[in-house]
Amino acid sequence: MITTVFNGADYEAGDRFDAWCDLVGGMPCPYQVRSEHAADYGFTLRMARLGAATVAHTVVPSIHAIRTPRMIRQAEEGVYSLELCRGGRIGAEQSGREVEAIVGQWIVQDSCRPHSLWSLARGHRGADAFGLAIPKSVLGLDETTVAPLLAGPLPGDSGVGGLLTGMIGRILREPGAFGPADGPRLGEVLGDLLAAMLAHELDATRLLPEETHSRALTLRIQAFVLAHLGDRDLTPTTIAAAHHISVGYLHRLFRRDGRTVAGWIRTQRLERARRDLADPAQYATPVQALAARWGFAHASDFSRAFRRAYGTSPRDYRESTHG
């Protein structure tokens, strides 16, 4: 997966704002922009294209962006454009509604309707935001259903919105962890998460296509499991109960991806134990203690499972990584 980074410092001071305007013009939802800092516009932009979806992290001086009727007429397809406030102040106006997001909130806008977006830096730090643009056609939600959420703040630090924020952050922070073939799949997952977030806010999950609803539920379950990997009582029964579904339905969700619930849990536990074994800061921690940390009740069970997964014992693996 290719992540592209642009930095205002790579341009002459007088060229930086024009460079930014060119970058914005090439986005899925371009804007007409202006800024009182145009004479020396210091910015950073990190972005990745993931199939149909585009994600970005921007840090910019104060700016005002307008989506004009002409831009709307020239667009090939409609997209939902989202901004998550991470620092400074971010606001928007669309369909007669105005909003200012606080840190940790998403703003949703429809590229097919005129709107404006502004950001205000705080002190010497630029306005910090995550962005997501995704075609409306991939979400499976009628745009009239989504309309009440436009230019309204949505939570990005909890629930499905928090999953969306966390996934975008990880994609942009760890580009080397994903290959080119992962991009379209990650884009699909982001689309499912966005659809689930919008549907949750509308209290209308029944409007989601079954496949999208199932994927979003699976992601929520996986996030729950990852947060409780060290719990030895983590079982399909407790997972299903926490999500108000039957154990049979839980197993069906995982079988769609060709795996079992227990197998997926074991794989995640082993991978985290492997990372700890390779961590120099944890070299003095006994192998048994690391195994227990990730939910393995018996050292012998952990050793057998580790050898099956990685072809070597936990101790030999540790020594090989610290050689």
Q: What is the CATH number of the domain that holds 252?
A: 1.10.10.60
The pLDDT score that the predictor gives to residue 31 is 93
The pLDDT score that the predictor gives to residue 204 is 67
Q: Are residues 121 and 58 in the same domain?
A: yes
**Per-residue pLDDT averaged across 125-151, rounded?**
88
Q: pLDDT: is 188 or 142 the higher one?
A: 188
The pLDDT score that the predictor gives to residue 323 is 67
The answer, yes or no, to whether residue 1 has pLDDT greater than 80, is: no
Q: Which of 206, 224, 242 is the last residue of a domain?
A: 224
Q: What is the side-by-side strand order in the sheet with 127-135?
A: 3-7, 44-50, 53-60, 127-135, 79-87, 105-110, 153-155
Q: Are residues 128 and 237 in the same domain?
A: no
**Total number of domains in the chain:** 2
**Per-residue pLDDT averaged across 106-114, rounded?**
95
Q: pLDDT: is 129 or 204 the higher one?
A: 129
Q: Are residues 10 and 150 in the same domain?
A: yes
Residues forming a β-bridge with 101: 90
In 3D space, the residue among 89, 83, 167 whose CA is nearest the CA of residue 122 turns out to be: 89
Q: Which of 185, 201, 224 is the last residue of a domain?
A: 224
The answer, yes or no, to whether residue 125 has pLDDT greater than 90, is: no
- The answer to whether residues 216 and 200 touch, using CB atoms and an 8 Å cutoff, is no
Which span out of 66-70, 128-132, 296-300 was modeled with the highest average pLDDT? 128-132
Q: Are residues 49 and 194 in the same domain?
A: yes
The pLDDT score that the predictor gives to residue 123 is 67
The answer, yes or no, to whether residue 267 has pLDDT greater than 70, is: yes
Q: Are residues 295 and 194 in the same domain?
A: no
Going by C-beta distance under 8 Å and a sequence separation of 6 or more, which residues neighbour residue 118?
62, 63, 64, 65, 90, 91, 92
Q: What is the side-by-side strand order in the sheet with 63-67?
A: 32-34, 63-67, 115-120, 89-94, 97-101
The pLDDT score that the predictor gives to residue 154 is 94
**pLDDT tens by residue, 165-179:** 999 999 999 888 888
The answer, yes or no, to whether residue 19 has pLDDT greater than 80, is: yes
Average pLDDT of the chain to the nearest whole number? 91
Q: Which of 201, 224, 247 is the last residue of a domain?
A: 224
Q: Are residues 281 and 144 in the same domain?
A: no
Distance between start and end Cα atoms, the chain: 31
The pLDDT score that the predictor gives to residue 213 is 80
**Per-residue pLDDT averaged across 256-261, rounded?**
90
* Domain coverage including residue 304: 228-321
Q: Are residues 55 and 84 in the same domain?
A: yes
Assigned token pair, 318: 């540790």
The pLDDT score that the predictor gives to residue 205 is 64
Q: Are residues 135 and 273 in the same domain?
A: no
Least confident of 172-176, 192-196, 200-204: 200-204
What sign has the CA pseudo-torsion 13, 18, 22, 25? positive
The answer, yes or no, to whether residue 8 has pLDDT greater than 70, is: yes
Q: Are residues 45 and 184 in the same domain?
A: yes
The pLDDT score that the predictor gives to residue 177 is 82
What sign has the CA pseudo-torsion 154, 157, 158, 159? positive
The answer, yes or no, to whether residue 289 has pLDDT greater than 80, is: yes
Q: Are residues 126 and 212 in the same domain?
A: yes
Q: Are residues 211 and 240 in the same domain?
A: no
Q: Are residues 38 and 75 in the same domain?
A: yes
Distance of CA 85 to the CA centre of its chain: 14
What's the helix, strand, coil split of the chain in %, to 5?
Answer: 50, 25, 30
What is the pTM for the complete model shown?
0.77
Domain CATH for 190: 2.60.120.10
Assigned token pair, 155: 């939570």
